[in-house]
Amino acid sequence: MKIAILDWTTVTSGDISSDIFKEFGEVNCFELCSNELAAEQIADADMVLCNKVLITDEVMSKCKNIKYIGLFATGYNNIDLKAATRHGITVCNAGSYSTYAVAQQTFAYILDYCNRISEYDSFVKNDGWVNSKTFSKFPFRTQELFGKTLSVIGYGAIGKAVAKIADAFGMNVIVNTRTKPQNCPYEVVSVEEAFSRADFLTVHCPLTEQTAEIINEKNLSLMKKTAVVINTARGGITDEKALADALNNDRISAAYTDVLVCEPMSPDTPLKNAKNCVITPHTAWAPLETRLRLIDIVCNNIRAFLDGNPQNKVN
């Protein structure tokens, strides 16, 4: 079995070895691969492992030996699934590996906004407390999460984990999801209600035709001026110009995003210099524990495929 790993650098900064895949066959590991060179680097491989490299119908047509594509990701919009099915190629993703990490980062954003720890740390270290006349000095407004409304768009594993954490803070959770969930303890609302009622709105759904640019001018116009928007899902879920305009014109209070339409970030993204917009470089999934869980799932997917019982198959 010949295995081509196309973009290993997207999975590790040197803290995980690709040797783990040698139990399955001969491994040809590339740190990065451009979309244009995908077919060349796959060559005669039987199995392809990748994160974000585009595997198109053209690539599959040139690489006749491919039997399996394994993703280092939950999302699979970089794979032409119809073509893969037509070519008889099994495609498996790594669902649910990042649930805890993404939920954690979502609340890191929320707590950053509400508690303003870094601002107070800077205030203290610049002698703000030294020069205070009172024992407690609070020039920056902080907020309790208790009683605030959290709108969760997408109620899969991550959405459920986020809602559970919100429960612990005493937040009012409302949910928008494509299909009505079974035994959901939270109020299920329309997209319009999710935006209009939110103190915090967080998106945890895949990028589809239905969710593309769901954070748009129309929906943003429904929000409270004090509302905060969070996107840890996919960049295409946001109309970046519309969000930047809403921030710059004080129509909402703040935004936190871990994903952008163009990644790595384009210097031209409207969000780069938008007011009260915090951007992290797609790191919600990046804790070492999370990535080790990812590798474990990818390996188990390969074993299941080789045993004739594919799991996490998406085509």
Check whether residue 193 and residue 299 sit in a common domain.
Answer: no
Instruction: Please report, for residues 191, 213, 238, 240, 268, the alpha-carbon distance to residue 218 in angstroms, rounded to integers and kept in the order given.
Output: 11, 10, 12, 13, 23
Check whether residue 77 and residue 108 sit in a common domain.
Answer: no
Check whether residue 210 and residue 302 sit in a common domain.
Answer: no
Taking the C-alpha atoms of 58, 59, 63 and 65 in order, what is their torsion angle to the nearest 10 degrees?
-100
Number of domains in the chain: 2
Check whether residue 58 and residue 109 sit in a common domain.
Answer: no
Check whether residue 190 and residue 238 sit in a common domain.
Answer: yes
Tokens (6 digits) for 198: 């939110």
Check whether residue 155 and residue 266 sit in a common domain.
Answer: yes
CA gap 22, 236 in Å, rounded: 36
Does residue 99 contact residue 161 with C-beta atoms inside 8 Å?
yes
The confidence score (pLDDT) of residue 59 equals: 97
Tokens (6 digits) for 3: 């295995």
Specify if 216 maps to a domain.
yes
Instruction: Please report, for residues 151, 157, 167, 219, the alpha-carbon distance to residue 160 in angstroms, rounded to integers and kept in the order given.
Output: 12, 5, 10, 23
What crossing angle do the helices spanning 99-115 and 157-168 adopt, rounded to 10°?
40
Does residue 216 contact residue 242 with C-beta atoms inside 8 Å?
yes
Q: Nearest-CA neighbor of 161 among 284, 301, 300, 298?
A: 284
Check whether residue 152 and residue 219 sit in a common domain.
Answer: yes
Range of the domain at 238: 99-125+140-279
Specify if 243 maps to a domain.
yes
Specify if 313 maps to a domain.
no
Tokens (6 digits) for 220: 């943003």
- Active site residues per annotation: 234, 263, 282
Specify if 23 maps to a domain.
yes
Check whether residue 88 and residue 234 sit in a common domain.
Answer: no
Specify if 135 maps to a domain.
no
State CA 241 to chain mean position distance: 20
Check whether residue 92 and residue 104 sit in a common domain.
Answer: no
Q: What is the pLDDT along the chain (315 residues), one digit of tens a residue?
A: 999 999 999 999 999 999 999 999 999 999 999 999 999 999 999 999 999 999 999 999 999 999 999 999 988 889 999 999 999 999 999 988 999 999 999 999 999 999 999 999 999 999 999 999 999 999 999 999 999 999 999 999 999 999 999 999 999 999 999 888 888 999 999 999 999 999 999 999 988 889 999 999 999 999 999 999 999 999 999 999 999 999 999 999 999 999 999 999 999 999 999 999 999 999 999 999 999 999 999 999 999 999 999 999 999
Specify if 147 maps to a domain.
yes
Check whether residue 91 and residue 118 sit in a common domain.
Answer: no
The confidence score (pLDDT) of residue 208 equals: 87
Specify if 225 maps to a domain.
yes
Specify if 314 maps to a domain.
no
Does residue 162 contact residue 152 with C-beta atoms inside 8 Å?
yes
Check whether residue 267 and residue 301 sit in a common domain.
Answer: no
Check whether residue 103 and residue 85 sit in a common domain.
Answer: no
CA atoms within 13 A on the CB side of 79: 27
CATH of the domain at 219: 3.40.50.720
